[in-house]
Each structure stands twice: as structure tokens, then as C-alpha cells.
Amino acid sequence: MPVRHPQLNAHGELKHLLTIEGLPRDLIHRILDTAAGFVGVSDREVKKVPLLRGVSVFNLFFENSTRTRTTFEIAANRLSADVVNLNINTSSASKGESLLDTIDNLVAMHADMFVVRHAQSGAPFLIADHVDRTRGNVHVINAGDGRHAHPTQGLLDAYTIRHFKGNFQDLTVAIVGDVLHSRVARSDIHALSTLGVPEIRVIGPATLVPSGIEQMGVRVFHDMNEGMREVDVVIMLRLQNERMRGALLPSAQEYFKHYGLTEDKLARARPDCIVMHPGPMNRGVEIESAVADGPQAVILEQVTFGIAVRMAVMSLLSKS
């Protein structure tokens, strides 16, 4: 059987956006370039372009996320699409309707694009495979699946870095915190390594660094003071409170002391180092307020660029 990447169509065009892994560098740049054209739209008096008029975008959130859902909703609205929001909280498949039954029903309502957030790694692949078999022209965007991928976040992080640093070739980027549970970290690693960042570091305690992560092309540091040395970009990851319940971490206080981003630790980075965070932030857990609100933070810019990047992804997919 011919095996093609499930996010490409028979012509090799991007049909779904499921992961950054395997995306060619020029395609990533094309998405970022397209996003650059959309950044201006939000500054206009009428914040809309008619590119997706008549297109139905279904935000399908099997896991709660007001923030990500809202940014996708705004992106779709600014492209003049019709948006339907669905929050489907299912903790297990045994409760009620199965995942694929839900999809069949929504396809029957003539959805053109699904934006999917799901707690299980790989769920959007299952959905994309299913709609490819049952109806050929539905697009799936992964808005975060389990620990696996959050490709639009990876793209907006790449956009932000390109915006502030100009290039990727000379950079050292550190990703700090709960890498184990982070789909953002994985998508960032794929995006940045494809774009040519020569050194990507992950920093965290051994309980939060997944086994074999080095094979994704990163250097692992357990000592943050060492890992922060001379970095150009630091991406802080959100630490969920529930991580403190088991044996992964003893307390938020001890975590902050060793892996929280403080002005002291930031001082080890290059002076023009930018500080990023996918949000929502836990102040005093992974980042101190002085840094989060400081001159090096570009966290709110990430949010603004995120809308443009999602507009770019939606418009490119609808053309395929």
C-alpha cells in the first residue's frame, strides 16, 4: 500500500494540518509569509477579508480551552467564515456517542473544516482518516491533541521568533518545563528544527523530560542556570497544578525555585533574549511577574500573531 502523509492530499498539497513533523521548510515559510499578510487585517477598521465566505468551520473541542477556541473563532470570523462552536466533554469513549459517530453527524451538517482539540494523542489523525474515507473535501486542523502536537502554536511561535530575530540560522532556543506533557514543546521542536535552528535545548527535571527526546534533535539540561546560558529565545511551558499530585514533582515552590524563570536566570541568556509562553501563565510557578511583564517578554505579541497564523492555515487549507 502506498503510504502518504495523512495530512497531504494525492497532489502532495496540505489538506489537513495535523502536525508540523514532516512539513517541508518552504511550506512553513509560505504559511508564515501568508500570516504576515494577515497581521494588517486586524488593524483595519473593518477587520475582515472575504476569503472563506460560505465556508463552515466547526470548532470541535473535546477538551476545554476557551483561549485557543477563541483565537480560532476570531481567525475564522476575520476570514468571513461561518463558525460553529461545539464543546464535547468526553473523558472516555464508552460514554454515549462514539467519536466517529459525532464526526459523521457533523459532516452530514455540511461542515467544511474541523478545528479539533482532543485529550488523546492522535485523535485528529483518526478524524482526518475517517473524513478522507467518507467525504473527500473536509479539512481537519489539529488544535492540540494530548501530548502529541499543537501545530498552529508551533507555527505562531516560529512566526514570533522570525519577527523578532529575523532568521533561525544562528539561534539557541531553550524550551523550559513540563516537556513530557507538552504538545507545544513537540510542535516547537519540529518547527524550529525544520527551520534550521542549530541548537534547541529542553530544560526540566528528569521526571518531566520524556525518554529518548534527544532523538528529536535537542540537548537536554536539568540545570536551568546552565541551560539558559547564551540563549536567544526562551519558551516557558505551562505547568498544570495536577502534576504536583503524583510523584512527578513535590511542590510548586520547589519547582519555581529550580525551573521558574526569574530575572536572575534570564540574566544568563543573551541580553536581547525574548521570553515566550503559550499561555495561560501560572505566575510564580513557571515564571515570575517581573519577567512576564518585563521588556523581554513577547507573550502578548504571540497571541496577536496567533490569529494571523491561524487565518493563514485556514486560507491555505481551503485552497487545496
Partner 1 sequence: MNDRICLTIEGARLIDPERSLDIAPGPASRVHIRDGRIVATGEAPAGFAADSVHHAEGHVLIPGLVDLAARLREPGFEYKATLESEMRAAIAGGVTRLACPPDTDPVLDEPGLVEMLKHRARSIEGAHLHPVGALTLGLKGEKITEMAELVEAGCVGFSQALAPITDTQVLMRAMQYARTFGFRLWLQPQDPHLARGGVAHSGPYASRLGLSGVPVIAETIALHTLLELVRSTGCALHFMRLSSAAGVDLVRRARREGLPISCDVSAHHLHMIDLDIGFFDSNCRVDPPFRSERDRDALRAGLLDGTIDAVCSDHTPVDDDAKLLPFAEAEAGVTGLELLLPLVLKWSQESSVPLAQALRSVTTGPACVLGIDAPSLAAGMPADLCLFDPNEHWTVSRGALVSQGTHTPYLGRSLQGRVRATWIAGKRVWSATAKPG
Nearer to partner 1, 98 or 167 (CB): 98
Q: Pick from 52, 213, 237, 312 the residue near partner 1 by CB under 8 A.
A: 213
How many Å separate Cα 186 from the centre of its chain? 9
> Residue 198, Cα to own-chain centre: how many angstroms?
21
Cell numbers for 129: 482518516
Judged by CB under 8 A, the residue of 38, 58, 61, 125 near partner 1 is: 125
- Compute the least distance from the CB of residue 125 to partner 1, in Å: 5
- Give the strands of the sheet with 274-276, arranged side by side: 219-221, 199-203, 172-176, 233-236, 274-276
Does position 241 interact with partner 1 (CB under 8 A)? The reply is no
Find where cell 518545563 sits: 177
User: Least separation, in Å, of the C-beta of 146 and partner 1?
Assistant: 5
Q: What's the CA gap between 231 and 269, in Å, rounded?
A: 5
Q: In the chain, how many H helices and how many E strands? A: 11, 9
- DSSP 8-state code for residue 215: G
Stretch that binds partner 1, among 44-52, 143-151, 230-238, 311-319 (CB under 8 A): 143-151
Number of residues that bind partner 1 (CB under 8 A): 32
145 counts as binding partner 1 under rule CB under 8 A:
yes
Q: Which of 36, 100, 248, 252 binds partner 1 (CB under 8 A)?
A: 100
Torsion, Cα 233 172 144 236, to 10 degrees, reads -40
Q: Is 246 in the site for partner 1 (CB under 8 A)?
A: no
Which parts of this chain interact with partner 1 (CB under 8 A)? 1, 3, 5-6, 21, 92-93, 98-100, 118, 120-123, 125-126, 130, 145-149, 183, 186, 210-216
